[in-house]
Chain A
Amino acid sequence: MRIGDAKQTYVADEAIWTTSTQKFWFSILLLGLLIFPLLANSYLLYLGCLVGIAVISTTGLNILTGFTGLISLGQAGFMGVGAYTVAWLSTNTGLPFPITLLLAGLMAAAVGFLVGLPSLRVKGLYLAIATLAASVFLHFIFAEWESVTGGMEGLSLEPAHLFGVTFRSDFAMYFLIVPLAVLAVLAARNLFRTRIGRAFIAIRDRDISAEILGIPLLRYKLMSFALSSFYAGVAGGLFAYFYRVVTPESFPLTMSIFYLAAVIVGGMGNLLGGILGAAFMTLVPEALKLLTAALTPFFPNAPVFMSPMLEIIFGALIVGFLIFEPHGLAEIWRRVRRFFHLWPFRS
């Protein structure tokens, strides 16, 4: 509990950062994000971009699953919609990235809206299965609609560009991805200070009472679906610009499970949790790669075990967090902070 933070206006009381300490740390964070690419080597930059994309998509899924209580197994499919939209637009129209990314988000949102429509009749797990069906259909379309998607070969595209500037290197992409990630999280943070965010949470906690209190369930569920898919679409668009090639195999069902795992491991219904989960889940495979590389001189067949180990670790993280720490990394982080707030008076 902080003291001395009395407020004189409601605006100040409802601000995102209510104390000067918080403002200070957020500035440090932004500064760190700005300086990072100047100091980092190319590998770290590459990781930074990956984490940024994952943060956007995880935040989107967190809005749907963590805050609205609608589980989705379609996140990878929605990202695919965004990625193909960007790839097709940039190749066939040459539009600059702000427009292609926006259209990628809107296209994914439209698809998400359609997928959410069964929520008129079904809820909970049935809805999850509707999203599973959507991801099967989307994968099918990516692979078979060859005139648009290029079939199994996929599409390759030129780097993102705007006003003559091209974003070719990871260094340049970092400055495209990370600011968008920060914006995406801030927008979500705003959402949950307003009536629409509250309506989402109300639907998650008690949908029937929410309806009786004046929240039209279908409209808000569809809104949550569309918004979450918009995030996924933008993340997918960035994915396309980052790798500059998009194939049906870029967005497998396991990727949807990856994002679900990121939300769970980070902490459902907690934006900070989504960020931590996205970073953690992106870095685990990398850490495993490093470990494998280090072990290979001693165990020559170590690389063979890497991919299965990764699947086991992902599964174990999902199960372990759900059983032992359902509030995820965000809760662990909170406990750590609490410890230092009180230290050394209590330990």
Chain B
Amino acid sequence: MDWLFFGEISLAGLAMGGLYALIALGFVIIYKATRVINFAIGEIMMFAAYLFLAFAGGMEMSPWVAVPLAVLGGALLGGVIEKTMIRPMLGESPIAVVMVTIGIASILVGLVELIWTADPQLLPSFLPRQPVFIGELYLAPKIAYGFLIGMAVLVIYLLYFRFSRGGVALRATASDQAAAYSMGINVRRVFNLAWVFGSLAASVAGILVAATGGLSPQFGIIGLSVLVVVIVGGLDSILGALVAGVFIGWLETVAGAYLGGEYRMPATFAVLAVILVFKPYGLFGTHEIERV
């Protein structure tokens, strides 16, 4: 066995996993606050990445301007989706809401194809290009810097939710909606903010992932990997999102490198299947007690 190769692949996988963790964090924020499973998160990422393409490529803006603008665009998209399509579904069955997000995903894919065509695109490169070595292990610079940026955003998020007023409101809403409401927290606003912040995290990750792997209307498939991450970690667990994100990212990359690209999805979904059978609410998720 070539340990050097394994090490490099693993490193790349872990870095990818870091980005998965960031997307999963966005997913879990939305789920915790609103109990909506967002099947459109991959498409929101894709949309933000295309916005970046338009700003940096088409309009030739500096990446320093284009990235924030695209990320804000993705966050705004999340907010608009919540306000126009998720809010009317308040109180409907969770399955109906999930299907709304599936419909949204389909609309976004269509819009992207309509505006930017179905052809694969390359993002203008904006990350440093010097190769990165960790010990003897080489890591592609795009992946390395993508990972660092992703982690920085992730840490900011965690601090924000731990200490800020908005973060407390969000956590309160997640643990008991009615109580939060009666304590004067504007629950509707929290719902909207959760979608904005969740989409914002996903947008950052979307641009970073697209910067390494390219962009096409099929990009949203990544949402399926994220789904695996959050189920394995536990839908309502931020810790689970982080741990499972790193693990699934690593597994996917290693399976792809050793077995071939067609094994990436089956490998992670096999983990998913095992988790569903033996630990259905994920590694760190909570199991609600049912009442008659």
Contact = CB atoms under 8 A, between A and B. Distances in A.
A129 B107 contact: no
A154 B168 CA distance: 55
Contacts of B104: 315, 319
Contacts of B99: 71, 260, 264, 318, 322
A261 B100 CA distance: 10
Nearest to A212: B292
Interface size class, chain A: 35 or more
Contacts of B281: 122, 126
A12 interface: no
B109 A311 contact: yes
B105 interface: yes
A312 B266 contact: no
A288 to B, nearest CB: 12
B110 A323 contact: no
B132 to A, nearest CB: 33
Given A257-B106, A305-B114, A319-B107, A143 B262 contact: yes
B106 A130 contact: no
A104 interface: no
A148 interface: no
A126 B276 contact: yes
A322 B106 contact: no
A317 interface: yes
A130 B276 contact: yes
Contacts of B113: 307-308, 311
B40 to A, nearest CB: 9
B290 A208 contact: yes
Given A129-B231, A133-B276, A208-B290, A309 B114 contact: yes
A152 to B, nearest CB: 10
Interface in A205-229: 208-209, 212
Contact of A311 (B94, B107, B263, B292): B107
Nearest to B290: A208
Nearest to A304: B117
Contacts of A326: 92, 96
B273 A130 contact: yes
B280 interface: yes
B85 interface: yes
A294 interface: no
Interface in B234-281: 262-263, 265-266, 269-270, 272-273, 276-277, 280-281
Contacts of A323: 85, 88-89, 100
| Residue among A130, A312, A314, A315 with the highest chain B CB neighbour number at 10 A | A315
Given A264-B99, A319-B85, A311 B110 contact: yes
B68 interface: no
A92 B8 CA distance: 47
A125 B95 contact: yes
B179 interface: no
B106 A126 contact: no
Contact of B269 (A137, A264, A318): A137
B153 interface: no
Interface residues of B, number: 43
A124 interface: yes
Given A126-B231, A137-B269, A323-B85, A318 B262 contact: no
A129 B89 contact: no
B69 interface: no
Contacts of A137: 266, 269-270, 273
B116 to A, nearest CB: 10
A144 interface: yes
A176 B114 CA distance: 39
Nearest to B112: A308
A195 B177 CA distance: 39
B106 A125 contact: no
B276 A129 contact: yes
B213 interface: no
| Residue among B112, B117, B265, B269 with the highest chain A CB neighbour number at 10 A | B269
Contacts of B118: 307-308
Nearest to A308: B113
A243 interface: no
B37 A136 contact: no
Contact of A257 (B89, B95, B102, B227): B102
B120 interface: no
A157 to B, nearest CB: 25
Contacts of A319: 85, 100, 103-104, 107
A137 B268 CA distance: 11
Given A305-B114, A311-B109, A312-B107, A121 B276 contact: yes
Contact of B227 (A124, A132, A140): A132
B107 A309 contact: no
20 contacts: A118-B276, A136-B224, A143-B262, A257-B106, A308-B109, A308-B110, A308-B112, A308-B114, A312-B111, A315-B102, A315-B107, A315-B108, A315-B109, A316-B103, A316-B107, A318-B103, A318-B106, A322-B96, A322-B99, A323-B85
Interface of A: 65, 69, 71, 117-118, 121-122, 124-126, 128-130, 132-133, 136-137, 140, 143-144, 208-209, 212, 254, 257, 260-261, 264, 304-305, 307-319, 322-323, 326
Interface of B: 37, 85, 88-89, 92, 94-96, 98-100, 102-114, 117-118, 224, 227, 231, 262-263, 265-266, 269-270, 272-273, 276-277, 280-281, 290, 292
Given A71-B99, A121-B280, A308-B110, 4 more contacts: A132-B269, A318-B102, A319-B103, A322-B92
